[in-house]
């Protein structure tokens, strides 16, 4: 744990030095060439080992990659953003991937289709501190939601978290590694019920337990009697969809007589899936 914290602090000192003086492109010729290059840029998969990963995280990663060899488990890739974000929302990026390596959320998620289960290997960096020396509760809640949400999204398609109940048993030391297990318990119509626990690497310490309810947005249509009127306002938001896909959510406000209604246009890129939901 101390070694991983030390590596993260070295990264932090390097970042502080970078903020002073010339622009990033002027300091980094490779970055400058990339900005003005016409070559296709391959997005970085952040669910792969980097120098900030501790020995425990690397060991667990290797163990699960071994399980992937027979096809029973699958590693899910993770990116900061996509081409669509760059075009529509230039400043947007995935919340959990907005930190330099080692300072925030370092994690990888694996999925087992037969067991309807996801496992997240997570290391929380120094920027996620709450009580001195321990991980902020909101940071672990974020990772629980991400793990549970992915467990629901693969069988349920487009989903949104409707309810998430977390019991925090023990605080998690900063820069340590935990294993987040999520299980799909049952499906009732569009409702997906899930459970989750957060344990130490050796599984001897239970840090948190959680239950979640996700709702699938498949095959939804506008409420009866609501017809879109003149377009008032539109905003796009990119979030995470099924593995390897991006979910683009467009919030559209219309006037309909004296009332204003909001419609959410949901589209999974590369799948051509579209649904309109009236509220």
Mean pLDDT (10-residue bins), the chain, 279 residues: 53 45 43 44 80 96 95 87 52 72 90 94 94 94 93 85 94 96 94 96 96 79 43 38 44 38 38 36
The pLDDT value given to residue 44: 78
Four-CA torsion 219, 223, 229, 234, nearest 10 degrees: -50
pLDDT at 24: 42
Compute the distance between CA of residue 74 and CA of residue 230 in angstroms, rounded to an integer. Answer: 45
Domain assignments of the chain as residue spans, ordered by start: 44-216, 231-278
231-278 — its CATH code? 2.20.25
pLDDT at 47: 86
CA distance 253 to 229: 9
pLDDT at 96: 78
Q: What is 222-271 written as a DSSP string?
A: PPTT----SEEEEEEEEEE-STT-EEEEEEEEEEETTEEEEEEEEEETTT
Q: What does CATH list as the number for 44-216?
A: 3.10.129.10
What is the pLDDT, as a whole number, of residue 38? 47
- What SS3 class is residue 125? coil
User: In Å, what is the CA distance from 127 to each residue of 11, 102, 103, 174, 179?
Assistant: 12, 9, 5, 9, 20
The question of whether 114 is a catalytic residue gets the answer: no
Identified catalytic residue from 70, 145, 202, 270: 145
Torsion, Cα 98 83 231 275, to 10 degrees, reads -90
Radius of gyration of the chain (CA): 21
Q: Give me the pLDDT at residue 40, please.
A: 55
pLDDT at 74: 93
Contact 181, 116 (CB under 8 A): no
3-state secondary structure of 151: helix
Distance CA 120, CA 143 (A): 8
The predicted pLDDT at position 159 comes to: 84
Q: How many residues in the chain?
A: 279
């Amino acid at each position: 744990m101390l070694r991983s914290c030390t590596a993260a602090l070295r990264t932090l000192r390097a970042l502080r030095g970078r903020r002073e003086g010339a622009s990033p492109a002027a300091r980094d010729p490779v970055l400058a060439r990339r900005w003005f290059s016409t070559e296709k840029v391959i997005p970085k998969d952040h669910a792969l080992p980097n120098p900030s990963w501790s020995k425990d995280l690397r060991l667990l990663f290797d163990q699960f990659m071994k399980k992937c060899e027979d096809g029973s488990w699958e590693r899910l890739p993770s990116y900061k953003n996509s081409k669509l974000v760059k075009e529509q929302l230039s400043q947007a990026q995935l919340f959990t991937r907005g930190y330099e390596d080692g300072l925030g959320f370092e994690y990888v998620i694996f999925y087992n289709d037969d067991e309807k289960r996801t496992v997240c290997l997570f290391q929380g960096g120094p920027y996620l501190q709450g009580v001195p020396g321990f991980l902020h509760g909101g940071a672990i809640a974020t990772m629980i939601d991400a793990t549970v949400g992915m467990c629901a999204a693969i069988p349920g398609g487009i989903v949104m978290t409707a309810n998430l109940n977390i019991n925090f048993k023990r605080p998690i030391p900063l820069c340590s590694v935990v294993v987040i297990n999520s299980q799909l318990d049952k499906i009732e119509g569009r409702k997906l019920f899930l459970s989750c626990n957060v344990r130490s690497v050796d599984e001897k310490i239970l840090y948190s337990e959680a239950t979640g309810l996700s709702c699938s947005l498949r095959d939804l249509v506008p409420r009866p009697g609501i017809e879109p009127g003149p377009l008032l306002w539109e905003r796009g938001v990119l979030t995470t969809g099924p593995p390897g896909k991006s979910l683009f959510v467009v919030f559209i406000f219309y006037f309909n007589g004296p009332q204003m209604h909001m419609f959410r246009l949901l589209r999974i890129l590369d799948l051509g899936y579209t649904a309109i939901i009236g509220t």
